[in-house]
Amino acid sequence: MMKMIHRSVMLGMVLACVFLSTGLQAAEYAVVIHASNSYSDSPDTMKQVVKQLYLKQRSEWPNNIAVKPFGRPADDVAHQAFLRQVLQMSEVELASHWISVKQKTGQAAPREIGRDSLLLKLIAKYEGALAVVAMEAAQSDNIRILFTFDD
């Protein structure tokens, strides 16, 4: 009897863990590009290339398409996840980077687009476009998911 009760209690804890696990599930984001951009590589390389393209250290994709990166507002959760997981920089480091780039080449940070719908339209418009969106928003025939990441 006691053994049965013990197991019941533990099963209850397991069920609680199930709810906890689903409730705390990490959010997922996607780096999206134009559907016609066929660039692909190993996950680590793609992440590195996207970082360099976004920071304007590279001006073209490895398949020679001129890049057009789009950013998100600083308080956007997708942008913050992108900072942590792909750029691996703090907001201050990123701001310092753009000040340095501006002085050396006159280039500025990618234009910030707040709305997913507008962002997806712009991604679909430019062959070299690049942006990050929440996974559930990455639904369009004209875009391709380059890779996804959790935060």
Task: Report, in Å, the least distance between residue 70 CB and other proteins.
Answer: 15
Interface with other proteins, residue 38, by CB under 8 A: no
The pattern of x and - marking residues 90 through 109 that bind other proteins according to CB under 8 A reads x-x--xx--xx-xxxxxxx-
Task: For the chain, give the longest Cα–Cα distance.
Answer: 77
Torsion from C-alpha of 133, 137, 46, 93, nearest 10 degrees: 10
Binding test (CB under 8 A) with other proteins, winner from 52, 63, 74, 125: 52
Closest CB 88 distance from other proteins, rounded Å:
10
Report DSSP letters for the chain, one per residue.
Answer: -HHHHHHHHHHHHHHHHHHHHHHTPPPEEEEEEETT------HHHHHHHHHHHHTTS-SB-TTSPBPEEEE--TT-HHHHHHIIIII---HHHHHHHHHHHHHHH---PPEE---HHHHHHHHHH-TTEEEEEEGGG---TTEEEEEEEE-
How far does the chain reach from its first CA to its final CA, in angstroms?
Answer: 44
Minimum Å gap between C-beta 48 and other proteins is 4
| In the complex, least distance from residue 80 CB atom to other proteins, rounded to whole angstroms | 15
Among 84, 115, 125, 142, binds other proteins (CB under 8 A): 115
- By CB under 8 A, residue 2 contacts other proteins: no
Kindly list the residues in this chain that would bind other proteins in the complex (CB under 8 A): 1, 4-8, 10-11, 13-15, 17-18, 21-22, 25, 28, 30, 42-45, 47-49, 52, 57-60, 62, 64, 66, 90, 92, 95-96, 99-100, 102-108, 114-115, 117-118, 135-136, 139, 145, 147-148, 150
